[in-house]
Structure 1
């Protein structure tokens, strides 16, 4: 099938093709009703002509009979003239009746009526002269019966014609209904077909643009459809490739920059540690304070560089699903909590944990980063002597991790911005708590890359409530040995 030149041409063609069945139905109904109207009009005019002519003929026959019988008694020539006038009127009306198209039976009956009236007209002078009325009465009686029967036939014919028109109207109504019932589904099917044909490439463009907006630069963009839409899809594919190249360049630049910065930072940190540990005894108090400041800020700068590099990797193309491994979430969380014990003990804090055994398909280092960022935030923002609550539970086909601290919480107006890069909430901006503003941004990017969600929920008391939802899997088909190998591989990846 040849590809249409443009979306507008396809829309016009689809609209025209969709209304063709309706146009055909309208034309068919119009022609049928027009023929029915003509037929009805002709039938009505014929029925009116036959009925009027029959009534006038009946009046003329009665007048002829009355004037003829009176003439035989009174012998008044004026009555004979009136009889003749009635006979002539009858002849004129009978011609119109015959021209109106009566049935064959009525034509024969009209012929017999003419013969009886002509016989009565011939017998009238003889009946008056001879004084006998037998033949005249018989002719008038026969003519009256024929006229009465003719009127009944006309009325019956009109009734039959009316019934025929009614049946015809009912048939047209049914035919119209059938045509509409046939045309409407056909129109709807054609319309739906072209709607799908028109909206499918637009939806593909929308998905492609959404994917680019979400940072998915690995999936090729291919849009089929009209030439102008396909050309737009090609431009988006070019943009995706260009963005992918820029992303790769950015990551390469950040890695190079991180490496270049880490080298002098390592020298500064080691020099400050050497001054602090080995040569610190010979330094004055102010000099030791300067050395401590240099060491602390070098460590802070190093963490900031590592967070920035980690975020650039998180924003990059999603890692292929085929490279994911079954990760025990409970083990990762318990290992992190074990590593936080010295810090928790120094701050007099405790952890209330309820952790179920749940697994997810992911990468161990990323899952560890997700949990580590949430736990480190909870420890960082919670006051001394407080309690941190950690919950890992199953909800349908999702593994849900809740981390609830006892800190100042997140203001409602900040909840939409708290996951933005380099955004620091009011608690951090107060200067009491340090942070780079990258941890939650990295956490969200990692969670979204696995098809999960990260939200801030309302807490029952004071503090922030972060909830992570990740797709859970069954781990029955994975052996402990294979998991140990994966864990070892993850630890080697995290090793400096």
Structure 2
């Protein structure tokens, strides 16, 4: 039988049409996920940075303005007093040349008021400052016109008192405005802190939620690929493989599905091969067994003792070979999921006794004792498959039991189920073999060296037949005790479908 193993080029794998945007690569999907998750945090950080920068600028401006106004007001008051002294000296000494100090103070006064006008942005500051500048300008013009007659200056001295009052009013208003601005900055800082706290309170759960969502989205295609590989590893090839996610992972899913289809085709070819080879072997085997039976019965003439021994060996070997072929046939039927149950009421005790009698030759050859405890119970079961299950368990126990060993068969009924325990006195099942002992073709490590190895299908077939009946078979562990212990559980009255 020719098995095709040709592999199509990667570009020829059929692409499934998908809806919506899908990233081209797994890395791109991770980067998109991180970008979306990090975007709210980045926006919050940028906003907080802008607010803090604004507060910093405003605080710096307030401090600068307070410093400039403080120093400027001090200079203005000092210059007003200096100008007043110059005028008084000119008046007392009747010397107009002494007004030189006044003119120098006037120049400094103009410079400092011009500077203060550039940093004073509020009306409460500008109004007294402009009045002060206007009053000082008028005063300067009048003094300039009266420089030749100093004795006419006395009435101008009281103007300096008004000028000093305006300077003090400007200083008071400026500090009041600055105080209000400092309060505003403090209030804005409190609002900003509250806003940042609310942002954190809202954004942290949101970011965690988005991170969980994208973790699920990112992990889903990996999980789908892992499940697909696990399903193929367990031999479950009927379910199509579909991977949702980035384009490169979708492509891997398509390749896995193509591999699943190839394995399914190979599995069908293997089952067909088993079926054909089993039937082809069974036909000549039947002729060999019948010929051995005719020789043993003396149909072709009487046989001496050696000839009888040879005929018996031929008959025994043909029976063993027939059992192996039947195991292959049963296994091929199981793989094709063709398990037909013809249920009928059967006596469990009679079935067990019949199986023991069929194994009597092997039992006697090893001088094994059978300890049977079975109540009179009737099962609704497929008689042939029940015999196969019990025969596999008993032959397995006989195979591994030593000479002069003991095999215990115990039947216990509980509610609507019957429990059949088969124990032998052999080496038992290795811990390594425990999880694989029911796998097809698996041979345990504790097989006796003198024994001819079988197909490794007996326990696998027994498990499938037990499940088909609505029951199960399991390996029971006993720490420190020799021998293997298998427990077969079957329903007494089953309403399960028969196919």
Alignment TM-score, normalising by the size of structure 1: 0.71
> Tell me, what secondary structure is at the counterpart of 1:152?
helix
Q: 1:308 aligns with which of 310, 314, 328?
A: 328
Name the count of aligned residue pairs: 467
Map 1:336-347 onto structure 2 (within 5 A): 337=352, 339=354, 347=368
Q: 1:96 aligns with which of 107, 115, 119?
A: 115
**Could you tell me which residue of structure 2 aligns to residue 261 of structure 1?**
281
**Could you tell me which residue of structure 2 aligns to residue 292 of structure 1?**
312
Map 1:52-451 onto structure 2 (within 5 A): 52-64=71-83, 80-114=99-133, 136=157, 139-176=159-196, 178=198, 196-197=216-217, 199-223=219-243, 229-278=249-298, 282-314=302-334, 316=335, 337=352, 339=354, 347-351=368-372, 373-382=392-401, 384=404, 386=406, 388=408, 403-415=422-434, 418-419=437-438, 421-425=440-444, 427-431=446-450, 435-443=454-462
**Could you tell me which residue of structure 2 aligns to residue 494 of structure 1?**
none
C-alpha displacement at 1:304, in angstroms? 1.4
Counterpart-to-counterpart distance in 1, 2:92 and 2:76: 25
> 8 Å contact 2:347–2:378 — kept in the other structure?
no
> 8 Å contact 1:374–1:403 — kept in the other structure?
yes
Relative to structure 1, is the Cα distance of residues 379 and 296 closer, same or farther in structure 2, using a 3 angstrom cutoff?
closer
> 8 Å contact 2:87–2:153 — kept in the other structure?
no
> 8 Å contact 2:37–2:211 — kept in the other structure?
yes
- Consecutive unaligned residues in structure 1, runs of 5 or more: 491-496
Counterpart-to-counterpart distance in 2, 1:4 and 1:447: 47
C-alpha displacement at 1:301, in angstroms? 0.9
Give CA-to-partner distance per residue, 1:288-321, whole Å, 9 cap, x none.
111111111111111111223333444x26579x
> 8 Å contact 1:407–1:462 — kept in the other structure?
yes
More deviation, 63-72/104-113: 63-72
Relative to structure 1, is the Cα distance of residues 382 and 253 closer, same or farther in structure 2, using a 3 angstrom cutoff?
same
More deviation, 293-302/14-23: 14-23
The structure with more helix, counted as a fraction of residues = 1
C-alpha displacement at 1:167, in angstroms? 2.8
C-alpha displacement at 1:258, in angstroms? 1.9
C-alpha displacement at 1:266, in angstroms? 2.1
> 8 Å contact 2:40–2:203 — kept in the other structure?
yes
Give CA-to-partner distance per residue, 1:373-414, whole Å, 9 cap, x none.
3454335434546363758799xxx99986543322234455
More deviation, 437-446/447-456: 447-456
Counterpart-to-counterpart distance in 2, 1:163 and 1:364: 97
Counterpart-to-counterpart distance in 2, 1:61 and 1:172: 44
Counterpart-to-counterpart distance in 2, 1:317 and 1:54: 105
> 8 Å contact 2:271–2:336 — kept in the other structure?
no
C-alpha displacement at 1:179, in angstroms? 5.3
Counterpart-to-counterpart distance in 1, 2:28 and 2:344: 50
Give CA-to-partner distance per residue, 1:315-342, whole Å, 9 cap, x none.
x26579xx999999xx997675454565
More deviation, 363-372/213-222: 363-372
RMSD of aligned residue pairs (Cα, Å): 5.2
Counterpart-to-counterpart distance in 2, 1:399 and 1:109: 110
> Tell me, what secondary structure is at the counterpart of 1:282?
coil
> 8 Å contact 2:135–2:163 — kept in the other structure?
yes
Counterpart-to-counterpart distance in 1, 2:55 and 2:304: 118
**Could you tell me which residue of structure 2 aligns to residue 493 of structure 1?**
none
More deviation, 304-313/402-411: 402-411
Counterpart-to-counterpart distance in 2, 1:155 and 1:324: 103
> 8 Å contact 2:96–2:147 — kept in the other structure?
no
> 8 Å contact 1:355–1:392 — kept in the other structure?
no
Counterpart-to-counterpart distance in 2, 1:43 and 1:363: 98
> 8 Å contact 2:400–2:448 — kept in the other structure?
no
More deviation, 271-280/254-263: 271-280
